[in-house]
Structure formats: C-alpha cells, structure tokens
Chain A
Amino acid sequence: MIFKTIDKKDFNKFLEILIENNSFFAPQKIAKDKNNKPIYDLRLVNDFKEIDFNYDILKYPPRRFFLPYREAISSFEIKNSSWQQNINYETKVPRILLGLHPCDINSLNKLDKVLMLGDYPSPYYTIRRKNTFIIGMDCDPKPFCFCRSVGTHTVQHGCDMFLIDIGDRYFIEIFSNVAFDFLKKVTTKDITKKDDDEYKRIRRLKAEKFTAKIDVTDLTKILDMEFQSDVWKEWGDKCLGCGSCARVCPTCYCYGIEEKIDLKFQQAEKLKILHACTLIDFAEVAGGFNFRPERHIRLKYRYYHKHRGFVEAYEESLCVGCGRCGEACLAGITVPEVISSIRE
C-alpha cells in the first residue's frame, strides 16, 4: 500500500476534477430528526461545495449502488406464442462514491465473496462493483457502532483510496492503480514522521471511543447450543416482522423474483427484489406452505445467517457491526443485546 498526504485545498481540487467527469455521490444532509439532529446520506453532487464533510454516518447502506432494492434482471417481448428475452447488464458511466466508512467498505468485501467471487457470480453486481470508484473515509465511532468486535473497523482492501482527517490535510491510503493515477493530477506529499505520529495518535483515539461491542468468541458453537433457547421467543414477542433491519443492513442479500406483464400482454419483466428473512412471506412457497411461520424463528434465522452460517462458510461474520439494524428497529432489537442475551 502507498501512503500520501494531501492538503485539503488540493483535495477539493481533486474532487472538482472527479465531479466534473463522473457521476459522483457524496454525503449530504438529507433531513433532521425530531431532536433537530441532522441525518446524512449519499446523494449525487455537482459541486464539491455540496458535500457535507460533517456527516456522521450514512443513513442507508451503500449496498444499493451494487445490489439495488429492486431491479429488472431481464425483459421480454412477447409476440403471439413466441418471445424474445433481453438482458441488459448495466454499463453506465463509471460512478464515484465518497465517504464510505470501514464498515461499509467491508460490507462490500463480504458481498463480493458471495456475488462476485463465489460459485455463481452475479454479472449485475460485478459490473457495478468494477465500475465504481470508492473513496473511503475514517469515522468517529457512534454509541451503536461495534465494528471493532467483528474486525471490520479497518480497511485492508475493497476501496480505491481511504482518507483520514489529520487537521489541515488528509492522510491517504492508496489501494488501487486508478486512485494512484488520478492523484497525479494534484499535488500530494510523501508522509513525514509527523504525519506518521498523527496517524497513530488518531488510530489510538478512535480505538478508545468504541462503547458497543459483541463477544464473538465461540459464537457459532454457542448459537448451536442455544438453538432452542427461550430467549428467541422473548425477542420474537417484540419483533414486528417489518423487515426494516434487512432493509438497512449493508450485507443482506436475500431476494425474491417477481414477474410483471404489461396490461397488453406484450411485454414482461423479471424483477429481482431484495427480501427480508423476518417477513412473514419470506419462506412461503408455491401452494402456500410457509416454512417459517413464526416470528421468533424468522428473527433467529437472521442471526444464524449473520453469525453462524456465514462464519462456517467464509470464516468471518456477515455482520459488519454498523448498528443500523438496531437503530432502525422500532422494537429496539439490537445485535449487541441479542448476542449477549444468547451468551448468558
């Protein structure tokens, strides 16, 4: 990896160049909550002045840029009794995302393992992943962040460059050739001993800020043993079966397929729609049989996929500890609380 620093004014110049030539998404204030606290998310920007660098977290995960909530995976022209299928992999202009935190970058690395590097790679996902330039940014842990417990608080790969704010300049970790070449357009500096020290100091400070955590020691085995635990029932009594958790999760990738025909019966579309394992109709099959009719069992399986099944298959958790599911859950079901209730 190559390290550089860049003055903030040079970085703005760098952004100007990128914004001018690409479709560029960056953090913006999108709303205020009831306590007047601003809420941020990625939005298309046309000028670097529109970017809000004070953002804390991105409300919705960047997963949607790669794995949209809903997409037509093919369309059909129907004529009499024959039909023609059209498949269109998205080959739009390259996209740039600025401001992904380590949890979100690692979430993409996990999705890569399933959707790009697995036995059945998805061309839809792969083309978007390859066509997206990612500028990661360091963050300040929030009370619900527990990425450190699952090892996703640092970035080893998965983005093109990663920025750490060290006052009047950024410390840059350069991951890709593309980023290296892009950066030639502006002035960057080699790192000095001072930068090095500042980097380490900031890293130490960040590590101290984490408050939420989960204990993953032997978690797969404990989950195995607690499969029949009454604790699941207690959480199930609270769960609303609303699927908000899966909607805001950066790593949920389960989907359903729906076919839509136009009213003239001349055109049809096959839609892929991200689903959620906590919904009552998630495991319902043709004929109406439901494999998971009980709320607590559905909720349990969400945890088993994240913290057991995926770990067994990939030796890492599918949860990146972003805490979004707990924040979005009206019933107050959070990963740290569920995991500790199972361990007790």
Chain B
Amino acid sequence: MQYLGVELIKPKAAFFDFSCCEGCQLQIANNENKLLDFISLVEVVNFREILTERNNDYDIAFIEGSITRKDEIDRLKKIREKAKILVAFGTCASFGGINKLKNKFKDIEWVKKEVYGNCPIETNDKVMAVNEVVKVDFYIYGCPVNKSEVEAIVQSIALGREFRYLKHPVCFRCKEKQNICLYEMGKICMGPLTRAGCGARCPSNGNSCIGCRGPAEEPNIEFMKTIMIKNGFTERQIRDKFELFSAFKE
C-alpha cells in the first residue's frame, strides 16, 4: 500500500497475552468495522483472539498483561530476543495494573488462599510490569487501551513517523466535552493527574477518572493531594485512587 507515492512499511506484528483479562486485545478484535483495515496495516502473524495459525516470525511484539509466573518471565525474554520492537500493550503491561495490587499485601500466602482457595497455583510473590523484566520500546496506556489511539500508533509505524503522546492531563479533554467537573458534584477524580488520550471517557459518563492511563507528564501530585483533602476526601479514598493500577509514584 502507498500513501502519497510513498510505500508504507508493513511490519509483522504478533500479540501475546500474559496475566490479564485480554480486554486490550479485545478492543482491537471487536472493532469490527475497522478490523480489516487495521490488519491491512500490519501483517498480524500471531493473535489468539482473531487468528488460529501461529507464526513466530515478527518485527513488533505487542505484550499484553503483567508478569506473574516464572514461565512468563522466560517466555517474555524469548519474545524480546526475536522482536525488533517490543510494545507494552495496555496498563497491566505498562505498569502492572490491577494485578499488581497483590504486591501491596504483606502476607502473600494469605492472598493466594483468599483468591485461589485450595487449588494448587504457581505464582510469583511479586507482580511485575513488562519493563521490570525486559526493555520496552513503546507503551500504549489504558485499561483497556483506546482503539483509536492504537490505530493512530500503528498508522505512525506504517508511515515511519513518530507518534506523539498527549502529555497533559484528562481535565483538558473533559472540559472540551463541557462536562461539569466531578469535584463540583462532590466526587473524587484523578483527571488532573492522568494522561489524556481516552477522550475523558469516565468523567464524560459521570464516573471518576481512576487513573487507568497512568500519570500525565510532570503531574502535580503533591498539590492535587492537598486539593483532594480540601474537598473532603479521606486519606483512604485518595490512596485507593492512587494505588489501583500501580501507575502513580507516591
């Protein structure tokens, strides 16, 4: 395929799921009216949700999920060796995500028992983001990822041009949608600290932003905490919001 006379790059892409809900892959798979266009941009050689054949010859590896087992570490390292570009696909891969809540508990045996009962389970004590195991070249944030952002990123790859993340917080898009700020409604919101790019999906539907895309660049965490306290939220409520995806440094 060409664009303005320039041949597009058509890389071979493979999707791999690790510990996660596979919701990020689903965002691509269930985007029916655009799926064919999307897979014409890259040659998808491995994608469990849409392909039955598997092929281990790829340029870009999209890694979904966090790393919680020994075999996952080995598998991830092998993928890294093969891939020219390794992408952390979604918040679990980028930060550890919901799975990483496990790391907050002191007694890991209690956690295992609480979650898995008496079923035998092989799991590491600590959950890791992908970059704690291998080098990551590129991050796609979100729980789940935003389809149109993924499309724009893959398009940039095809064009061979740099993709520029939005660096500012969600509030900017929230106000564009002319929402009433949730703080005015007495709700807490992580929008002022969270990276934009989701179209302020949650506040636009009356729900607090819970920070799923991780921090915007240079977030003013310190003063935002003061603001949250001033608005009557408890330390506990604030911590819940900050810790949910393990994306914010305390």
Contact = CB atoms under 8 A, between A and B. Distances in A.
Contact of A244 (B4, B175, B218): B175
A221 B169 CA distance: 34
A237 B227 CA distance: 13
Contact of A70 (B38, B176, B180): B176
A202 interface: no
Contact of B168 (A70, A81, A237, A279): A279
A78 B185 CA distance: 46
A249 to B, nearest CB: 10
B234 interface: no
A117 interface: no
B223 A238 contact: yes
A39 interface: yes
A231 to B, nearest CB: 16
Nearest to B228: A330
A168 interface: no
A69 B5 CA distance: 33
A247 B200 CA distance: 14
Interface string B187-199: 0000111000000
Interface in A136-192: none
Contact of B8 (A39, A80, A265): A265
Contact of B155 (A78, A242, A263, A330): A263
A193 interface: no
Interface residues of B, number: 41
A298 to B, nearest CB: 11
A52 B61 CA distance: 56
Contacts of B4: 78, 81, 83
Given A237-B223, A241-B169, A263-B155, A280 B217 contact: yes
A244 B171 contact: yes
A331 B218 contact: no
Contacts of B184: 33-34, 39
B178 interface: yes
A144 B5 CA distance: 57
Contact of B227 (A81, A284, A328, A331): A331
Interface string A118-140: 00000000000000000000000
B2 A242 contact: no
Contacts of A31: 180, 185
Interface in B7-63: 8, 34, 37-38, 40-41
A59 B37 CA distance: 41
Given A242-B192, A280-B216, A81 B178 contact: no
Given A34-B184, A240-B192, A241-B169, A263 B41 contact: yes
A308 interface: no
A105 interface: no
A45 B155 CA distance: 41
23 contacts: A33-B185, A34-B184, A59-B180, A80-B5, A237-B223, A240-B171, A241-B168, A241-B169, A242-B168, A243-B169, A247-B176, A263-B151, A263-B155, A265-B2, A274-B176, A276-B172, A280-B167, A280-B216, A281-B164, A284-B167, A295-B220, A328-B181, A331-B227
Given A276-B172, A281-B166, 9 more contacts: A34-B186, A69-B176, A81-B4, A244-B181, A263-B41, A274-B176, A281-B168, A284-B167, A331-B227
Interface of A: 30-31, 33-34, 39, 41, 59-60, 64, 69-70, 78, 80-81, 83, 237-244, 247-248, 260-265, 274, 276, 279-281, 284, 295, 328, 330-331
